[in-house]
Amino acid sequence: MTRGHIVALSFVLLIVGTIYVPLGSAYFCGYDDFLETHRAVYEDEPDPVRMFTTTHYNTPKYRPLNRGLNLITYLLGDGNPAAFRIRNIAFHLVSVAAVYGLAFWLFETRIMAVAASLLFGVHPLANQPVAGAVMTNTTANAFVLLSLFLFLRAMKGARRPVVALGTSLAALWLSLFFYEAGIVALGLMYGYIVVESLRQKRLMVSRRLLSVLVLGTVLVCGSFFGVRKMFVTQPSVPVPSAIMVRSLAMYVVALLLPIDPVLAHDYLHTPLPSQIRVNDVIIAAMAMVVIAIAAGGIVVALRRNSIRIKLTRLPWSHIVFLAGGAIFLLLPFLLFTDHPSETYLYPSVALWILVGLIFLRALLRKPGAFGAVIALFVLLNAAATWNRNAHVTVCGAAARRILSELPVEGSPDGSKQILLADFPTDPPVVRYGLYGYHGLASIDVGGPLSTSAQSAAQTFVRNHSIRVNAVTPDRVSTSCPPSSACFWVHADGHLSRAGTGLR
């Protein structure tokens, strides 16, 4: 890497790191954090082998390195959430560096590499996997993006292409044991070869490299699925096609939205996506709007000669590869997940940004104009991500206060159950991803099968005998069972006695 690249990438990483500084001191937030850390302490630490011989919460998912990394992080930080936060931010910066490399090897200009990596680094749709303390999605996706970068480098003239390609496949193989959805990156590699070979009207890769890729694919898939078959007994069941189409439409709309929905909700008081009842009519309407905008853009472009000429000069092979890849990376979630989530968009955002930059660069040839527009997008995205991190910090503060004020010292053996309920007059929680949690929801979203409040308390005081349940307000509004201690949980996490009426 030349000095110019080092300076440019350092500049990008400094800005992205600065945006994420407040998140580094946030406490755990949400049920996932407490369930995962509880499992690490009470299941995986006493018996580490079970991480490799059992599935992810008795599902068809096999993620031993997910559990292993969380256990190591917990032990290294002695339970301090800062260790998890710093880990996720560090791997996010690795992803940013990989996107820088991808953009440079695709477009061979430093300005595109800086723009792509900076926009991805501060993009709000890439925030949730970083903000979820126990999520190792960022780790897995860092290896996926690094794998794609090394693959592209091997295809485009690395000094040691076989080494670059072998390292690419090794990184991808490692990612699968964190998060198996990364397997589709292999399809992107073959897709790139096909698209570029069609453009060049010849096989664009040497037979030696192609042989390495095919052999590596066999080894990666064979070893992963072979180990997986040993321990996964439940089949992965595809969701109905209607749900697939609905999820795809929602992902496309999310990628095309010009403003972050959380930022818009906080400052413009627009509804969050979770507050909108999405039915087939709304999905069809959104699809029609997208089609109409695209059709209108095509008509305008074809009627203006200057734009038509610019369009013909675009690197369409790159556009097809990147746009198709952004959707292809979502394939496992479209097939096997019955609900859309921003968490799954992380690598797709990176490729989608590269597509957008191609069109923007074609329209704005002057570096000054291009730089000004990029700076505007960076500021908007950075503000949105800063705001999201603030939400997680508030949630973490509430969770820490709840656990700090729990009267667990009065019942160290768990003989008395602690019941927690949201204070009835506090504003209700409006959930959207990790954003919007307060009060009891910061440790437990409730429900008859939810155990995260108890997991949080047991891990916080390192006592497996404590019994804590999250209940509805009506359970404790008038009287508290004799064998229980009942508390209201206020929005900021403060606890007050319950059971003798509201006061």
Q: What is the pLDDT of residues 185-244, one digit of tens each?
A: 999 999 999 999 998 889 889 999 999 999 999 999 999 999 999 999 888 899 998 889
How far is CA 184 from each of CA 103, 117, 176, 220, 343, rounded to the nearest angstrom? 20, 22, 10, 12, 16
pLDDT, tens digit, for every residue of 436-473?
899 999 999 876 667 899 999 999 998 988 899 999 88
Strand partners of residue 485: 418
* The predicted structure's pLDDT at residue 501: 47
Q: Return the closest-CA partner of residue 14 out of 347, 378, 396.
A: 378
Range name among 14-23, 94-103, 412-421 with the lowest pLDDT average: 412-421
Joined together, the tokens standing for residue 135 give 């999520």
pLDDT cut 70: percent of the chain above it: 90
Q: Return the closest-CA partner of residue 421 out of 485, 479, 501, 475.
A: 475
Q: Which of 183-192, 248-257, 479-488: highest mean pLDDT? A: 183-192
Q: What is the mean pLDDT of the chain?
A: 89
The CA distance from 189 to 327, in Å, is 14
Asked if 146 contacts 100 with a C-beta cutoff of 8 angstroms, the reply is: no
Cβ-based burial of 306 (10 A; exposed 0-12, middle 13-18, buried ≥19)? exposed
Between 474 and 71, the higher pLDDT residue: 71
Residue 342 has pLDDT above 70, yes or no: yes
Residue 502 has pLDDT above 60, yes or no: no
Residue 15 has pLDDT above 50, yes or no: yes
**pTM of this structure:** 0.92
Every domain of the chain and the residues it spans: 235-363, 408-497
What average pLDDT does range 41-66 have in this prediction?
A: 93
* The predicted structure's pLDDT at residue 112: 94
Between 108 and 391, the higher pLDDT residue: 391
Joined together, the tokens standing for residue 219 give 């080894």
* The predicted structure's pLDDT at residue 284: 59
- Give Cβ neighbours of residue 200 (< 8 Å, ≥ 6 apart): none
Joined together, the tokens standing for residue 282 give 């709304």
* The predicted structure's pLDDT at residue 184: 96
Asked if 381 contacts 262 with a C-beta cutoff of 8 angstroms, the reply is: no
* The predicted structure's pLDDT at residue 456: 95
* The predicted structure's pLDDT at residue 285: 65
Would you report the helix, strand and coil content of the chain in percent, each value rounded to 5? 70, 5, 30
Q: Which of 275-289, 388-402, 479-493: highest mean pLDDT? A: 388-402
HSE value, Cβ hemisphere, 13 Å, CA-based, for 306: 4
pLDDT, tens digit, for every residue of 255-279?
988 889 999 999 998 888 877 776 6
* The predicted structure's pLDDT at residue 291: 65
The CA distance from 413 to 459, in Å, is 15
